[in-house]
Amino acid sequence: MLRSRYGFTLIEMLLALAIMGLLLGALAVNWSALSGGRGLEEGAARLETALRMARADAANLGRRIRLAFDETDGKFIVFWEANPLAEPGRFTEYTACTWDDFVLMDRIRLHRCELVGLSLYQVVKMGGPGGGDIGAGPAPITFEPDGSSDSAVIEVSAVDERDARHAVIELEGLTGTVTSTVFVPEEVASQPAAAP
């Protein structure tokens, strides 16, 4: 009579555990590499959202909104023109802003923010990624109540040093179109420098 075998031997169990351990180890290594590389994309996407929210707040409030980047840590501060009739052009910090904490500037590092084309405050030109003079300081971006804004280019990189890519976020002031492009280091180095 043939006896059927139920269960596993000790060797089969140890072999299965060893294979599972190897697979879990490989998954953990790959997962950390994949999630580490997403910081730039996520940070750039959140910055795009902040630009859209600033435009919406300016239209909803009927006041100018200004995003200014702090030169020391690259974080942005939201200002608004609280009393445009009595004090035109005077911006104070917009403490009632509900979306400024949404942007995680701890994942990305600001390299430059430059206005392109006509602005309420200055006329500037700039080159491609890697161009510009950060010593001049990041330019503030002003959003008008009519839906227009300054046109700007913002260049950021990941805080993670292993990710050498840069993202360039472009804001078209007249239409409000916000786009971002990720560049690898070779593309950043090959772009022309900003015009003086």
Q: Express each pLDDT in 49-81 by its tens digit.
A: 899 999 999 999 999 999 988 877 768 889 999
Give the Cα separation of 193 and 134 in Å (integer): 12
pLDDT of residue 120: 52
Average pLDDT, the chain: 78
How far apart (Å, rounded) are the C-alpha atoms in residues 34 and 37? 5
- Higher per-residue confidence, 131 vs 188: 188
pLDDT band at 4; cut points 50, 70, 90: low
Q: Report pTM.
A: 0.69
The first and second tokens of residue 53, run together, are 């929210």
Q: Is the pLDDT of residue 100 over 60?
A: yes
Spatial strand order of the sheet with 141-143 comes to 92-93, 76-80, 65-69, 141-143
Lookup: tokens for 119: 């602005």
Model pLDDT, residue 133: 40
Which is more confident, 26 or 5?
Answer: 26
| R_g of the chain computed on alpha carbons | 25
